[in-house]
Chains A and B, each alone.
Chain A
């Protein structure tokens, strides 16, 4: 298939993918750095490139609420947000997943207040990791575009029916122009396809009326939560099928996580998002010097493929997990605790250390990652290294 080679920012690329998905409804409320994504989409609507009904709501709480109402009719629905906007819609974010509504939502990752800060870290999405959404993180504009196409197939799959969050780093990805391959509209539409409205559960089906969101107490609520858990258990298979089909179509192959030069690695870094790209350069340099270091870049954070992580990391001597968010008072960041738990009980499990980095958009340069690799080498040599460390902070 012939693809187009274009230069777009992350926000423009995601807006393009969503235009190609022909959503019926899109409630929207502005917040930096998500804004340009919705501007671009509004331009598509204004120019007749897509027939989506936008609902220009008065808050993110209403954006997610309107998305819930819309998706409950069966309409293909998206919204997008960042940081404080995500925090404001919190309550309804859980409801969207509990009602099994296949809403797709870019969260253009930005630090949470306070103090108020518009730059990138992952505290917004990480705070929502227990909300019941599928969460996929992106390293660059290409991944953001591809994920924004694939998310519909995953969310709307009958074995899944869960909302999907497409996470990409504020400014670093959202506002940076990169060259990427995109599909022609018709091919994208062939891949995504129309929303299947035939499942019999539409709020607009007045001939078969349903009640959505009833009171649900001690006798049923737990079972309903279990059905959400089971949907997450079924999701990886569907995600991998969609990734595979997309790979065959475009030549871009994705997995639940990406392994970069890990085959014989003694040290493996685990990094989400754009910093993984920086780390790849460092790893190439270190490899030249004979340092056996690799990278594992999580793509799908929810559901969390623990068994696969254990397999991918189990043969290393040490694992360094970088978290661009903090769980105050916790023993390490959210990614660290997940991975440590995945490795627990393995025979000869690798040592594992955590670095909290980049909060509020603090720049993470190659020198910092070089330094971190040095600390991992010391840990292998038996030098005492803390479980939880800080990177790039003035002390």
Chain B
């Protein structure tokens, strides 16, 4: 496997230049009224999708940007041009 990731700034690059930053779970929730369960859901729980998921990456050995892409976890290939469905 030889992952490549497309950075919005630098283009398609070797996957090892990047850091994976987790499933996209939406913006930070407000603190008010957060229960241990809802906190845990946001912080620890994952969907573990076998298929295409939206996720965060950081171009750590490059421009440093954080951005999202869609990737198929069954093939480890980036899926370009996906419409956000959720």
Query: Do A and B form a real pair?
Result: no
